[in-house]
Structure formats: structure tokens, C-alpha cells
Amino acid sequence: MSKNGNEASVPAGRLSRLARMTRIAASVAGGMVAEGARQIRDGNRPRIQDLLLTPQNAKRISTELGKLRGAAMKLGQMLSMDAGDIIPKELAEILARLRSDAHTMPRQQLNRALVKAYGKTWREQFTSFEYEPLAAASIGQVHRATTLNGDDIVLKIQYPGVRRSINSDIDNVAILLRMSGLIPKKMDLAPLLVEAKAQLHDEANYLTEAEYLRAFGKALGKDKRFIVPRLHQHLTTDSILAMGFADGAPIESIAELPQTERDRVVAALIELMLHELFTLNMVQTDANFANYRYQHENGRIVLLDFGATRRFAPEFVTAYRELLKAMLADNQSAMVDAAETIGYVVNDVHPTYRQLLIDVFELVGEVFRADAPYTIKGARLSARMTEKTLAMKDYRNDWHAPPIDAIFFHRKLAGMFLLASRVDAQVFMRPLLEAVL
């Protein structure tokens, strides 16, 4: 039994996962009927959205998707961080719970996964194996072990059935979103769903992640600010990733350190993000705080989990460079041209909605344009951004799915800004950006 009592067997078959998704829909619908009846008795005329987004339904959705895990949970995580201009704030908050609500596999199911990967004598490959996971996420959980050579390693073990359920999971979540009435009927989600499926198929193949782990290790091997765990290829399969154990405290723990050290750490991560996009054209797009650790004894940053790495086409990188140049110059016309090249719909929309989009770009530009260290928390950047995205709700007919590459990069950018705000760092962003432009 897990120490936190958070075990739940992962439904591995397609039918069992569909049945679970159906139960989620039925449970939410039942909650809506009950809440609607209560409000009508009280003399109210509730809207569908108000009935759907109750605290009780929020708990139902996040709890059940957390048990389901896999692509359904991953898509929820992605939407909660990246699509504030697609889904209502209330639904984003429901989905945000999925970033911390993962369950773990029971020991019996874990053993079956290890036997499938290594054979019945899998324990003979290790001198020790810890059944209690170090962490659990959407598509796998992490266990510490010691090899026969005495190497201290971790094994990221994929939940059974994750890969073969990706397409159906995403389609089912999309159906639920459509049925909810929260997504405008005319909005074309198909390209976003196709890309989400492709990205998640990549993330679910640990041999692909192994190559990214090796590539980042090579690219950052001489940068003493960072630690990239070493790949253990002989123990790595398409469903288990083996790498060196790298200890460290949660990255948020730097909030207790002196201002200069907080600033240095966040600046290093933002510089790395820009290096990834403009030099490597390869970005680890998941800025979940759990993917970073801090070693207090030497000030080094441990980088974890390269499954969400995405390679960006030169055309996107070039267009995004032009967008950032326009932001630095505070040139709205050039901003709009670059945004349209990237794939945003800026011109063929209501004028007020167009200005709100430009205002969002301007807020990002403000961070990089500042001529002194910028304090995201002090500037209330998140609150001001939320004000703009909430105002967009009045223009549902103008909503368009953002370009997929921009969604993935903005996922990383938003995570870095959130970290800077959480630890109250002051970072002089302009020279970091000018160095890569």
C-alpha cells in the first residue's frame, strides 16, 4: 500500500477506460440535475455552465481523470496550463487539480509491468528496488533502484495500456468538452487534437525520451549550472526509462534563499529556455515544478523528465524571433504580422477581441522590454493577463484554437513566469533575449 493511501489500479483495456469515461459523464450529469433542481426550488434560473462547474463536479472530474491517468489526464493538464483563451477559467481550475492528483499503481500491477519489460527474473537485475514510488504522474511513476554495478538509479515505469488508449482517450475528452457547451461549436479543435495525439505518442515511447535525455546531456554537459541524469540504456525499454538518480530539493525551496540566488536560478532557467528554442530548436515544454530540483549544497539545478520535449521547425523559430523583436521594439504592427505568420488569427476578428490579443502580446513584451530587473510578482503580471483572457469570454465567436507550436512553447514560458512569481525573483530579461536574437 502506498504511504499516502493513493493507490488505484490503472484501467488498461480500451473498453474499461471507455466505461470509466462514461461513468464520469454520468456522474457529472447527475450532479448537474441535482444542482439544477435545487436552484430552481430556490427560484433561480441557472445556466448550463453554472451547473457544470460546481465544486462537487470539479471534484468528480479531477478525481476520476486522476484514476484514469494516461492521455485523458495529460490532456487535462495541458489544457489547464496552456489554453486559458480556449476554456473558461473555472474549467481550467478543475483541470489544474490533475497536476497533483495522480494515483499510484498497486504492487501487483507494478510487478506485472516489470515482468513484461524484463522477464520473470527482473529482480535479479537489481541489488535493491523500492516499491514505494518517488513520484507519480499522468503516464508513469518513478521508483528508485540499485544496479548490480552499484549505480543509484531511478526507473520511470509506464502505466499499462497508456499507449494504446491515447487516441480514444483524447477523442473521449474532446467529446465531453463539446457536450459541456463550454467550447464554441464552430471552433475547429481537430488540428490541436491531432497534434496532441502525436505529442503524447512521443511522450509514451520512452525510447524517444531516452534520445532526448541523451541529447540534452550532450548539449548541457559543459554547463555547470545544470545536471542532466545519465541514461542507463541497457535497462531502458519503450515502457521503462532508466537513468541516474540525482537528488535535490523542490525548486520552489529557493524561495527561502537570498534574493541574489533566487534571481540567479530563475535567470539560468529562462536563459536555458531561450537557448532551447533559438539554438537547439528543441524545447522541454513541460515546466511543471516537479521537473526541476535544486541542490542547496552547490547551487546546481537538476533537470528531469524530457518526455514532453518538442522539436520546432525553423519556420516557427524564425517567426517567433520576429515576434519577440517586435515586442522589444514595442511595434504593434510588426507584432501582428509575426503572430499571423505563426498561425494566430489576429486580423479577421472583432476589433475589441483583436486588441485584447495584442494586449496579451504586449504584456509578454513588457517582461522582456524592461530596462532593469523585472519582478513578475510585483508587476501583477498573472492578474493582468487573467483580466485580458476573461474579457475574451465575451467574444466566443472569435475564438480560434491557437497554433500548436505556440501552445507548447507558451506552456514552457508560462511555467517559467510562474516560477519567477512564486519565488519572487527579479530577472533582467532583456539581455538574455538579445543574446539569442
8 Å CB contact between 254 and 271: no
C-alpha R_g of the chain: 22
Residue 294 β-bridge partners:
249, 301
> Which DSSP helix (H) or strand (E) runs through 144?
strand 140-147
CA distance 368 to 370: 6
Please measure the distance between the N-terminal and C-terminal CA atoms of the chain and give it in whole angstroms. 52
- Three-point CA angle 172, 174, 178, nearest 5°: 115
| Tens-digit pLDDT string for the chain (437 aa) | 344 446 655 555 555 655 665 566 555 555 554 555 565 566 665 554 554 555 565 566 656 555 555 555 555 555 544 434 344 455 555 555 555 455 678 899 999 999 999 999 999 999 999 999 998 777 889 999 999 999 999 999 998 888 887 887 777 777 766 665 556 666 677 777 888 788 888 888 999 999 999 999 999 999 999 999 999 999 999 999 999 999 999 999 999 999 999 999 999 999 999 999 999 999 999 888 889 999 999 999 999 999 989 999 999 999 999 999 999 999 999 999 999 999 998 988 999 999 999 999 999 999 999 999 999 988 888 888 878 877 887 787 887 777 889 988 988 998 899 899 999 999 999 999 999 98
Domains belonging to the chain, first-starting first, are 14-101+173-183 (no CATH), 106-158+205-246 (3.30.200), 248-437 (no CATH)
Crossing angle of helices 314-329/351-369, nearest 10°?
80
Tracing cell 476573461 back to the chain, one arrives at: 390
Residue 81's pLDDT is 43
Strand partners, 241: 156
Q: How many residues does the chain have?
A: 437
Residues with Cβ < 8 Å from 305, sequence gap 6 or more? 137, 284, 286, 288, 290, 291
Task: Please name every residue paired with 374 in a beta bridge, in sequence order, or none if there are none.
Answer: 427
Contact criterion met (CB below 8 Å) for 144 and 242: no
* Exposure string for 244-277, b = 16+ CB within 10 A, e = fewer: ebbebeebeebeebeeebbbbbbbbbbbbbbbbb
286 is an active site residue: yes
Pairing state between β 300-303 and 226-227: parallel
d(CA 76, CA 91): 10
> Which H or E element spans position 154?
strand 152-158
Give me the pLDDT at residue 102, please: 58
Q: What's the confidence (pLDDT) of residue 162?
A: 81
Give just the sign of the alpha carbon dihedral 418, 420, 424, 428.
negative
For 67, 213, 330, the CA distances from 359, given in Å and listed in that order, are 39, 37, 11
Task: Write down the catalytic residue from 85, 169, 286, 305.
Answer: 286
pTM, two decimals, is 0.80
Under DSSP, is residue 166 helix (H, G, I), strand (E, B) or coil?
helix
**Integer Cα distance of 122 and 62 in angstroms:** 34
